[in-house]
Amino acid sequence: MRVAAGQFAVTPDWPTNARTCVLLMQQAAEQQTSLLVLPEALLARDDNDPDMSVKSAQELDGGFLTLLRDESRRNAMTTVLTVHVPTREGRAANTLVALRGGEIIAQYQKLHLYDAFSIQESKRVDAGTVLPPLIEVDGMKVGLMTCYDLRFPEMALAQALQGAEVLVLPTAWVRGPLKEHHWATLLAARSLDTTCYIVAAGECGNKNIGQSRIVDPLGVTLAGAGCSQQLIYADVSRAILQQIRAQLPVLNNRRFAPPQIM
C-alpha cells in the first residue's frame, strides 16, 4: 500500500492550519495513498508562546477536526495526526486521532510527555495511561505513537508483539544539538527493534526540524523530507515485511518477557 507523511509549519491560527491539512489530504488522496501521517499538535503554534498548543485546545467535535473529517469523507484514506483536547482548566491531553470515512476510528492520549532538554510538556499536558489500539489499513496492522514515544523502545516493541507491521509517528521534533542525529538514529533503531515500517511526520518551522521519514523494517529510509512544507511517499509491502522477518526473526528470538506498559 502507498503511505505518505506530510509536514508544514503550524501557525497561531487554527483555521489556517486546518486548511493546510485539508490540502495535504487532497494531494495525498490524488496519489492513491492509503495512509497519511501528519505532524503533532496541529491546532496552533507560536514561537513566542510555548503554551499556545494547550491554550488553543479543542474538543474532538470542534471546528478543526470537523473540517478534517469533512475532507476525510471524500476519500478512502486513513489520516493520522495529533491535537490538544481540553481535560481540565488550563490543561489538555495531546491526543492522536485516526480519521477514516469522516469518522474518528481510533484515538490515543500520549503516554510519554516531553520533559527533557529544558522543556516540560507535563506542566500543561496530562499523560495518557493506556497503550494505543492497533488499527488496520489495507490489511496491514498499524501501531500508533506520538513524538517522544520514539525514545522508549518498549512502546514500539509492545505494539509489534501485538501484531503491528507499520508504526506511525506524528511529531514536533525540537531543534537542538545532536537532535537531528537522534531523530535519524531512533527511527532506524525502532524499525530494527520491531522489524516494522515507520511513517514519521515532523512539524517544521523555526523551532522544529521537519525531516519527515518513511523507514523500512531494516532501518533504510525509503523517503525523506527537508525542513519546508512537503509530502513524501513510499510503498510498503506485507510480502517484503514477511521476508525480512523470516531473515531477521527478532520478535521470535526474544528471550525476555514482553514489556509491561502501565
User: Using one digit for the tens of pLDDT, what is the confidence trace for 211-250?
Assistant: 999 999 999 999 999 999 999 999 999 999 999 999 999 9
Cβ neighbors of 78 (< 8 A, separation 6 or more) are 34, 35, 36, 98, 99, 100, 105, 135, 137, 142
CA angle 96, 229, 110 (to 5 degrees): 15
Q: What CA–CA distance (Å, rounded) separates 248 from 195?
A: 8
Q: Is 179 a catalytic residue?
A: no
What stretch of H or E contains 3? strand 2-7
DSSP string spanning 42-101?
A: -S--BTTBTTHHHHT---TTSHHHHHHHHHHTTSS-EEEEEEEEEEETTEEEEEEEEEET
Q: What is the pLDDT of residue 257?
A: 73
Q: What is the mean pLDDT of residues 9-28?
A: 98
Q: What is the mean pLDDT of residues 98-105?
A: 98
pLDDT at 88 over 70: yes
Task: Check 21, 110, 165, 196 and give the catalytic one.
Answer: 110
Q: Is 203 a catalytic residue?
A: no
% of the chain residues with pLDDT over 90 = 96
Q: What is the mean pLDDT of residues 187-191?
A: 98
pLDDT digits (tens, 9 = 90+) for 144-154: 999 999 999 99
Amino acid at 163: G
Q: What is the pLDDT of residue 260?
A: 65
Mean pLDDT of the chain: 96
pLDDT at 104 over 70: yes
Confidence bin at 142 (pLDDT 50/70/90): very high
CATH of 2-251, one of 3.40.50.300, 3.50.50.60, 3.60.110.10, 3.30.540.10: 3.60.110.10
Task: Check 21, 71, 121, 147 and give the catalytic one.
Answer: 147
Find the largest Cα–Cα distance for the chain.
52
pLDDT at 67 over 70: yes
**CB of 149 closer than 8 Å to CB of 159:** no
pLDDT at 258 over 80: no
pTM above 0.95, yes or no: yes
Q: What is the mean pLDDT of residues 130-139?
A: 97
Q: What is the pLDDT of residue 262?
A: 58
CA angle 176, 178, 183 (to 5 degrees): 95
Q: Which 3 state secondary structure label does DSSP give 215?
A: strand
Q: Is 227 a catalytic residue?
A: no
Confidence bin at 259 (pLDDT 50/70/90): low
Closest CA to 170 of 148, 153, 147: 147
Q: What is the pLDDT of residue 43?
A: 97
Confidence bin at 261 (pLDDT 50/70/90): low
Q: What is the mean pLDDT of residues 112-135?
A: 96
% of the chain residues with pLDDT over 70 = 98
